[in-house]
Structure 1
Amino acid sequence: MDVNSAVPAPTASDHLCVLVHGLWGNPQHLWFLTASLREKYPEGRLHILVAKRNSGSFTYDGIELGGERVASEIEETLEELARSGNEIKKLSVIGYSLGGLVSRYAIGLLFQKGLFEKIQPVNFTTFATPHLGVRTPLRGYHNHVWNVLGARTLSASGTQLFTVDRFRDTTRPILAVLADPGSVFIRGLALFQHRSLYANITGDRSVVYYTAAISSIDPYVDPETVSITYIPGYEDVIVDADKPVTPKAKPELGLTQRFTSSLATGLYRVPIVAFLIVFIPIGSTIFLLNSAVQSVRSRQRIQLHEQGKAGIDIARYRTSDMINSMRQEVEDIFENVNNSQSQEYLPADSEELALAPTNSRRSANFAHATSGTSEIGCIEELKEESGLDFPTLALTPDQFAMIDALDNVGFKKYPVFIHKHRHTHAAIVRRMDKPAFDEGKIVARHWLDNFVL
């Protein structure tokens, strides 16, 4: 769906909703969210723009360039709607994965240009967005393996997602600047009447729970060991974030059951070991070669953009079907490697934890943060209520500061439990029309039930 494909006819609608896809993505990834939105709100009630200028390998170009493209696309759409007699008075922005960060950057640009003095920001929602980056919480030398190597495989977007970049003339990562309380990005975000996020609690190989939920703890590390309460009407998918998880009693297994379980586990690991030995070296080679090619192309695009020579015609940069197919394989390889990293936690007496901002020790996971408040319920209280321990993840000082700033702005946070498919990052927005992704319908329904026109 593309409002730029034809001159829109005048309607009674004064609300524009913009949807922004993620890394390696394209507008088709958001087909279900778009279709669901249109089904509830016909053409005469809501205008929809699915941003398209960051498609495919263009997502390698970084949050800043991506945000500028989206901001430009929004402004051009508003101008086109105005020429056709449609005066837009309300704006909503929906971001999926990296698209959530690109959207936050674009919002800051629009705020700086004074757009929100004329148009009311209404809904801002992210699905599986890495608000704190994709760095695996690790301590010591481990930080210099995957967190450093991974940052070098995705061009500008990689260094920004792993928070090893330096934004413009600052000494800070762009994600830290995006969450600076005095920045145009936070000031613009704070003007939205409703802010919400959806975070997979398990199975998301690209964006794990802590970063999608803006949290310093992860109570869902092993969902099988806890009892989870769901929001009535959205059972088994949308977790009731206001109620702490409770421990689940472990059944006693007999000797035969233990032997059967051990045998099944061993047999399950055989194909995994074979995959690691045979396919990982081949896949890694393809992944690194493609990353090198895309990084070079991305740098060229960024240079053209900085020189004002990029324009808006992206046809000459589009890749062939063969490259698009390879991109899917590269995405799978990256996600598998990223998912193999294990999170680490800060000791209770560590200096890092002692220096962490106060709000980062609170639970932004269960209670819904509202605008202007950070009273979200201390982790100590959750420990007491649930009988479970929630150790603090080994985040960086920048990440702790991001949590504080974003929680002070306020988000309604909805943990999502996808059961039917292991690729929950795609299932949460139902990127493809297949039964295994049908739980994404429940996510979309909950989102639309809370969408304010």
Structure 2
Amino acid sequence: MLQNKVIVHCSECNMYRLTLDGVDVMGERLADEVVEVINKKPEIQKISFIAHSVGGLVARYAIGRLYRHPEGNSSQENLGGVCVRGTICGLEAINFITVATPHLGSRGNRQVPFLFGVTAIEKVASRVIHWIFRRTGRHLFLTDNDEGQPPLLLRMVDDCGDLYFMSALRAFKRRVAYANVGYDHVVGWRTSSIRRNSELPKWEDSLSEKYPHIVYEEHSKGTNADQCEQDSVINSDSDELEEKMVIGLTRVSWERVDVSFHSSRQRFAAHSVIQVKYYFMHAEGADVIQHMIDHFLI
């Protein structure tokens, strides 16, 4: 049980219309909020993040801002055979958990399932999405071009200036991506599980009474530079930007947890059920939350 061992803080800095301001603006606000909480609670020694949907991208941006190099060094080092990790605002980084997060953006084929996988519709959506979702929409569809820079999500698969996106991810003891295998009409399985199409596993109904909606789990090791280059050649027919993001993000290890509500009465609300947004409406996802709790490192 985690009771009396953790302090749970639910972020309030990016609610309602503020979610349209862009991943970077929301990330800066979240970073400021985290610093404020830490300053109020000096007894805190460790930190973890759990984020849903676009919140996972915001959290990735925020930790890039909050990352501190180990002992003032410019990178993580192996000292005496021991890996010295950086910290998040001076705290030991433990769990980084995302739930139905579009890590690879929303521009690829079937990355936004409610567009039905029709290429023409997906192309139109990428051109007009900013009319509805403003700057955040541009970031999700990788159409942003701030001062001639590459799209933000592409920049976030590496350290970029004073934003240490990948160093921050690497600092955590574990990184976990929960993903809906289907019926999530907002975020596709591929983008939320950080996989290529060819890597999506075959899954079967869960036989677990405790976690009836967890249908597949895997632990992937981080890939080295040579393997990344080889994978890039093998998958040269895929979307170039998406491939670069897959390569960048899989340089660190991930635990992938695939979830299915295909037999649930609430399956068409899978994007909300997976995080039990409202218990009275989305209670069937409670086993997924229990899975997070049971595997949470403290």
CA distance in 1, matches of 2:68, 2:215: 36
**Which of 177, 195, 201 is the aligned partner of 1:197?**
177
Residue of structure 1 equivalent to 2:164? 184
Q: CA, structure 1 residues 394+131, in 2 after alignment: closer, same or farther (shift >3 Å)?
A: farther
Partner SS for 1:48: coil
TM-score, scaled relative to structure 1: 0.53
More helix by share: 1
Partner of 1:432: 278
Q: Distance in 1 between matches of 2:172 and 2:45?
A: 13
Letter paired with 2:195: S
* DSSP-derived class of the 1:49 partner: coil
* Structure with larger Rg: 1
Give the Cα–Cα distance (whole angstroms) in 2 for the partners of residues 80 and 147 of structure 1: 42
Q: State the match for 1:105 in structure 2.
A: 61
- Secondary structure in 2 aligned to 1:228? coil
Cα distance in 2 between the residues matched to 1:52 and 1:71: 12
1:450 maps onto 2:289 in alignment: no
Going from structure 1 to structure 2, the CA distance change for 1:394 and 1:414 (only over 3 Å counts) comes to: farther
Q: Distance in 2 between matches of 1:60 and 1:121?
A: 28
Residue 117 of structure 1: how far off its partner (Å): 7.1
Structure 1 stretches lacking a partner, 5+ long: 1-39, 242-366, 380-391
- 2:215 pairs with one of 227, 239, 260: 239
Q: Any runs of at least 4 consecutive aligned residues in structure 1 with deviations exceeding 3 A, and if so which?
A: 112-117, 138-144, 218-221, 229-236, 371-376, 392-395
Cα distance, 1:117–1:153 mapped onto 2, change above 3 Å:
closer
User: C-alpha separation between the residues in 1 aligned to 2:164 and 2:45?
Assistant: 21
Question: Would the aligned equivalents of 1:121 and 1:193 in 2 still touch at CA under 8 Å?
Answer: yes
Classify 1:235/1:47 alpha carbon distance in 2 versus 1 (closer, same or farther; 3 Å). Answer: closer
TM-score relative to the length of structure 2: 0.79
In 2: Cα distance, 1:372 partner to 1:210 partner: 18
Amino acid at match of 1:144: K
Amino acid at match of 1:438: A
Aligned 1:74-153 pairs, distance under 5 A: 74-82=34-42, 87-111=43-67, 116=88, 118-137=90-109, 144-153=123-132
Q: RMSD over aligned Cα, in angstroms?
A: 3.0
8 Å Cα contact 2:179-2:257 kept in structure 1:
yes
Matched, 1:65 2:65: no
Map of 1:172 onto structure 2: 150
How far residue 219 of structure 1 moved from its aligned partner, in angstroms, is 7.5
Instruction: Give the C-alpha shift of residue 239 in structure 1.
Output: 1.4
* Bigger shift: residues 150-159 or 181-190: 181-190
CA distance in 1, matches of 2:193, 2:244: 15
Counterpart contact for 2:50–2:96, Cα < 8 Å: yes
What amino acid sits opposite 1:212 in the alignment?
S
The 5 Å alignment of 1:144-163 reads 144-163=123-142
Q: Say whether the 8 Å CA contact 1:67–1:102 is kept in structure 2.
A: yes
More strand by share: 2
Q: Helix, strand or coil: the match of 1:240?
A: strand
Q: Return closer, same or farther for 1:233/1:218 CA change in 2, 3 Å cut-off.
A: farther
Compared CA separation, residues 393 and 152, structure 1 to 2 (3 A) = farther
**Residue correspondence of structure 1 range 249-264 to structure 2 within 5 A:** none
Q: How does 1:348-387 map to 2 (within 5 A)?
A: 367-371=218-222
Equivalent residues of 2:56, 2:98 under 8 A apart = yes
Corresponding residue of 1:306: none
Asked if 1:405 corresponds to 2:248, the answer is: yes
**Secondary structure at the counterpart of residue 67 of structure 2:** helix
Q: Quick one: which amino acid aligns to residue 429 of structure 1?
A: Q
User: Does the CA-based 8 Å contact 2:203-2:216 persist in structure 1?
Assistant: no
Cα distance in 1 between the residues matched to 2:58 and 2:143: 17
What is the rounded CA distance, in whole Å, between the counterparts of 1:174 and 1:394 in structure 2?
Answer: 23
Which amino acid letter does the alignment assign opposite residue 80 of structure 1?
A: K
Q: Distance in 1 between matches of 2:224 and 2:205?
A: 25
Whether the 8 Å CA contact 1:181–1:405 is kept in 2: the answer is no
| Secondary structure at the counterpart of residue 195 of structure 1 | strand
* Alpha-carbon distance change, 370 to 176 in structure 1, aligned in 2, over 3 angstroms: same
After TM superposition, the structure 1 = structure 2 runs for residues 300-379 of structure 1, keeping only pairs within 5 Å, are: 367-371=218-222
Contact preservation (8 Å) 1:190, 1:371: no
1:4-23 superposed matches below 5 A: none
Equivalent position of 2:190 in the other structure:
210
Residue type of the alignment partner of 2:182:
T
Q: Distance in 1 between the 2:198 and 2:189 partners?
A: 7
Partner of 1:10: none
SS across alignment from 2:20: helix
SS state at 2:9 partner? strand
Q: Give how far 1:141 is off.
A: 5.6
Mapped contact 1:373–1:409 kept (Cα < 8 A): no
Code of the aligned partner of 1:41: L
Q: Structure 1 counterpart of 2:241, which letter?
A: D
How much does 1:150 deviate? Answer: 2.3
Using the aligned pairs only, state the percent identity: 27
1:423 corresponds to: 269
Q: Are the counterparts in 1 of residues 104 and 194 from structure 2 also a CA contact under 8 Å?
A: yes
Q: Distance in 2 between the 1:159 and 1:143 partners?
A: 14
- Distance in 2, matches of 1:117 and 1:236, equals 37
Bigger mean CA deviation after superposition, 230-239 or 70-79 = 230-239
TM-fit CA distance, 1:127: 0.4
SS of equivalent residue, structure 2 residue 44: coil
Distance in 2 separating the partners of 1:445 and 1:208: 23
